[in-house]
Amino acid sequence: MKNYPLWKVFVVFILLSLGIIFAIPSILYKEDTGSWYLDNRLNLGLDLQGGSYLLLEVQTDVLIKEEFENFSDTIRIIAREKRIKINNIEKINESLKVRFESSDKLKDIRQEFLQNYRSVKFNITNNIVSITIDEIFKKTIQDSAIKQSLEIVRKRIDESGTKEPLIQRSGRNRILLQLPGVKDPERIKDLLGKTAKLNFHMVDDDDAKSLSLNIAPFGRMIVSDIENAEIKYLLEKKSRVGGENLIDANASFDPTEGHAVSFRFDTTGAQKFGKATSENIGKRFAVVLDGVVITAPVINSAITGGSGIITGNFTSQEATDLAVLLRAGALPAPLEIVEERSVGPGLGADSIAAGKIASIIGMILVCIFMILIYGSFGFIANISLIANLFIIIALLGTIGATLTLPGIAGIVLTIGMAVDANVLIFERIKEENTKNKKIYETIKKGFDRALSTILDANITTLIASLLLFVFGSGPIKGFSITLSLGVIASMFTALMLTNLLVHLYISFNSKKEINL
Amino acid sequence: MFGLNKIIPINSDYKFLNYRKFFYIVSSIAIFLSMLLLFFKGLNLGIDFKGGTLIEVSTKNTDIGELRDILSPNFNEVSLQEFGDENTIIIRLQNENNQESIETVNKVKQIINNKVDEFRRSEFVGPTISSELLWKGFQAVSFALFAILIYIWLRFEWQFGFGAVVALTHDVLFTLGVLSFLNIEFSLSTIAAVLTIAGYSINDTVVIFDRVRENLRKYKKLELLDLFNMSINNTLSRTVMTSITTLLALLSLYIFGGEVIKPFALTMIIGVVIGTYSSVFIAVPTLLVFKFRPQDEDEN
């Protein structure tokens, strides 16, 4: 072809073929086939296929508070052993102030305390001790809490039967979850909302006075019943055995007690459990989950096998979920759901259908308009536009991008804006046409003059779109991706494909004139 | 082909800039009113930025009134609204407290479960998240304006950058004013729309500036006013054409794209009109403030 280099024809041909080849899987196939080529598809975002997005915050403040409670308990125990009286203990901001009756032996106390807790600051001024923690200590606690939480959240989600979940850390103390296809987000939220800290404590039924006054003596704690908060139990503060020693838990059915959870301890757990039950036959043993008593049965005989069942008016679902929680283990700190976005499959399907209609009608309107205004050249621009769409879809599919509802909006918008580069070129050619007599020179000048304008105009759009990507979340990122790819693809199609087609048109046009 | 390409003549010669004072006044009033609206009425912030709960349901054998009667006694701040058709209803709850509200979703679902065909969507945004999202959105828009300024400055002259940013700020404020006036919900996707408008408007402005730069080199003797008028006329048919195709696509999105995308499409439509206006009537006249001819001054 005259005046159009052959290598450019090849480039256009190859890129266009690639565009069509890689767009086909996204357009025609819905399910994974296992084939490398066909699985290069567009992923649908949660807002289109339905599913839940959850952002969880790990309540690390609770851990810091617990840490200070441990400090306070430890120092009481040490003081009691050394027979030193403590006047009072109070927590002020990020430090614990302990006022002793005298300043004797405080150095000994410090030495013993620091054996338990390294990297804690322990300052003595006269008879007052202040215990403080620094930022590094806090950060270590937080980091390990997030890591553990991630692990446990992953186990719980896997156990819940969600397919292809995305679970990742987000920022300092958050966990981001994307759960495609989840139909019952409430159940997932229930599973995640529980810390699932399980402990077995002995019940102190001898001290009725403390219980009636609602004041727990040292080494004891008062805990409510899960069914009725009015019912209180006085328990030993130190647990005999805990959920960390569980190796298995399953929902089961007990003929007399109904739905239950059967569990099994590891060797250590079995030993502790066996010891506690054999020493306390006839007394009550409380099963405490997340700070409430689920059940407190009387120990009839020593349980040495390391397994047992927990009962407590469960429904079948509750028993199953409790078993899941116990198998996955306890969270180090409570999780708070700070953001949720769930979309049902109905809305997702409606959005896809609406998006398709909007794209097709938008496309038809733009195409008709272009032909009305530019005639044959409009037809050329329309071919470029369609090629542009194929390329966008192929790119989205191959980079594994996710198509969201705003993403569809981005594509529709691209349809409107993509013809811009063509318009710029045609307007230039139209202008040059009035000055020049030679047809190929007119076309060349038209393209050359339009080039820098097209670049400048599109790069500014790309800047805005890039910032959307950086600052946007989920679906908005999808919008910025389709818009950016659309802009890039439109530059290619206008400068290469339209150029080729215009040359083709001229060489087949016997009159050799530009009718613009 | 159909002769429609002659709607805008090649040698159009409209004296846009001669009426610039009129457009300055129009825009100033618009911006002033927008700021008044933003200051006193504010934007209709959605749950993305205000926090709260939103549940979309499709109902069966019930209407919005009945649902309202069922929900109102149980929740303080509940509002219901039909969404597209009478069987689709949006329930909004403003939250005072985080934890309370994630449970609110469950509670609402339990209460109206037997009236509902499908829970189409439920969203909950906690207060810390909503303020973070607002801050991020603000950052995105500011950085975008700044980055565009830098780019125009590098590619053109700083005077052009100034003109572009004046026009962009005008577009953003004016659009936000219209959003406030029409009470259109301001959400994350609105931020995306505003940024896209910025991108579109600057695109338009750059095309005209590009021509101004070219003409400044070509016609060294021409009065600046005439030169600017000529540049606008040179690019006029392109400006109009691209606006029309973009608006056609957006119109299709607005009408057929579904309820969820409507506010986004509407915001874009408003923004594209404002952006096109500002490129011609604000961005270019701003260049008149600078009395010298960029670049050429030292060459001659």
Instruction: Provide the pLDDT confidence category of residue B298 given band limits of 50, 70 and 90.
Output: very low
With a CB cutoff of 8 Å and minimum separation 6, the contacts of B212 are B160, B227, B228, B231, B284, B287
Residues B35-59, mean pLDDT to the nearest whole number: 91
Give the pLDDT score at A388.
93
The residue with tokens 């509940």 is B78
On the question of pLDDT at A220 being above 70, the answer is: yes
With a CB cutoff of 8 Å and minimum separation 6, the contacts of A149 are A56, A58, A175, A331, A332, A333, A335
On the question of pLDDT at A510 being above 80, the answer is: no
Distance CA A478, CA A490 (A): 18
Please, what is the average pLDDT of chain A? 87
Please report, for residues A373, A421, A439, B207, B268, the alpha-carbon distance to residue B6 in angstroms, rounded to integers and kept in the order given: 8, 20, 20, 21, 28
Give the pLDDT score at A433.
84
C-beta separation of B115 from B70 below 8 A: yes
Distance CA A239, CA A419 (A): 72
Residues B150-176, mean pLDDT to the nearest whole number: 89
* Helix, strand and coil percent figures for chain B, each rounded to 5: 70, 10, 20
Please, what is the average pLDDT of chain B? 86
The reply to whether B52-125 shares the fold of B10-46+129-299 is no
| Least CB–CB distance from B126: residue in A339, A351, A365 | A339
The residue with tokens 């959307």 is A468
| Least CB–CB distance from A427: residue in B109, B237, B248 | B237
**How close, in Å, is residue B36 to chain A by CA atoms?**
27
**How close, in Å, is residue B297 to chain A by CA atoms?**
23
CATH C-level class of B10-46+129-299 = mainly alpha
| Domain positions in chain A | 6-49+345-508, 66-121, 197-313
Contacting residues of B for A460, CB less than 8 Å apart? 148, 151-152, 199, 202-203, 206
Give the pLDDT score at B299.
43
Query: Of A328, A340, A321, nearest to A149 (Cα)?
Result: A328
Contacting residues of A for B249, CB less than 8 Å apart? 362-363, 365-366, 412-413, 415-417
Partner-chain contact A453 B207, CB within 8 Å: yes
On the question of pLDDT at B99 being above 60, the answer is: no
Give the pLDDT score at A149.
92
Q: Is B109 on the interface with A (CB under 8 A)?
A: yes
Q: Is B245 on the interface with A (CB under 8 A)?
A: yes
Percent of chain B with pLDDT over 70: 91
On the question of pLDDT at B295 being above 60, the answer is: no
Enter the tokens of residue B22: 């009129």
Instruction: Provide the pLDDT confidence category of residue A172 given band limits of 50, 70 and 90.
Output: confident
On the question of pLDDT at A267 being above 60, the answer is: yes
**How close, in Å, is residue A423 to chain B by CA atoms?**
6
Q: Is B143 on the interface with A (CB under 8 A)?
A: yes
Percent of chain A with pLDDT over 70: 98
Give the pLDDT score at A389.
92
Q: A6-49+345-508 maps to which CATH number?
A: 1.20.1640.10
Q: Is A378 on the interface with B (CB under 8 A)?
A: yes
Contacting residues of B for A357, CB less than 8 Å apart? 256-257
* Digit-coded pLDDT (tens) for A340-393: 999 988 899 999 999 999 999 999 999 999 999 998 899 999 999 999 999 999
Instruction: Provide the pLDDT confidence category of residue B8 given band limits of 50, 70 and 90.
Output: low
Instruction: Provide the pLDDT confidence category of residue B1 given band limits of 50, 70 and 90.
Output: very low
Instruction: Provide the pLDDT confidence category of residue A64 given band limits of 50, 70 and 90.
Output: confident
On the question of pLDDT at B94 being above 80, the answer is: no
Instruction: Provide the pLDDT confidence category of residue B140 given band limits of 50, 70 and 90.
Output: confident
Partner-chain contact B151 A434, CB within 8 Å: no
On the question of pLDDT at B293 being above 70, the answer is: no
Q: C-alpha angle with apex B31: B28 to B33, nearest 5 degrees?
A: 105
Q: A197-313 maps to which CATH number?
A: 3.30.1360.200
| Beta carbon pairs, A and B, within 8 Å | 247
Residues A251-262, mean pLDDT to the nearest whole number: 86
On the question of pLDDT at A31 being above 90, the answer is: no
Q: Is B186 on the interface with A (CB under 8 A)?
A: no
Percent of chain A with pLDDT over 90: 25
Q: Is B238 on the interface with A (CB under 8 A)?
A: yes
Q: Is B234 on the interface with A (CB under 8 A)?
A: yes
CA nearest A345 in B: which residue?
B120
Residues B13-31, mean pLDDT to the nearest whole number: 91
Residues A173-188, mean pLDDT to the nearest whole number: 88
Give the pLDDT score at A179.
92
Give the pLDDT score at B297.
47
* Digit-coded pLDDT (tens) for A403-456: 888 888 888 888 888 889 999 999 889 888 877 678 888 888 889 989 988 998
Partner-chain contact A366 B237, CB within 8 Å: no
Its ipTM equals 0.89
Give the pLDDT score at B291.
66
Instruction: Provide the pLDDT confidence category of residue A73 given band limits of 50, 70 and 90.
Output: confident
On the question of pLDDT at A306 being above 90, the answer is: no
Reduced 3-state DSSP string for A310-338: EEEEECHHHHHHHHHHHHHCCCCCCEEEE
On the question of pLDDT at B186 being above 50, the answer is: yes
Give the pLDDT score at A246.
87
CATH C-level class of B52-125 = alpha beta
Enter the tokens of residue A108: 């000994």
- Parallel, antiparallel or unpaired: strands A174-180 and A51-58: antiparallel
**How close, in Å, is residue A488 to chain B by CA atoms?**
14
* Digit-coded pLDDT (tens) for B201-216: 988 998 999 999 899 8
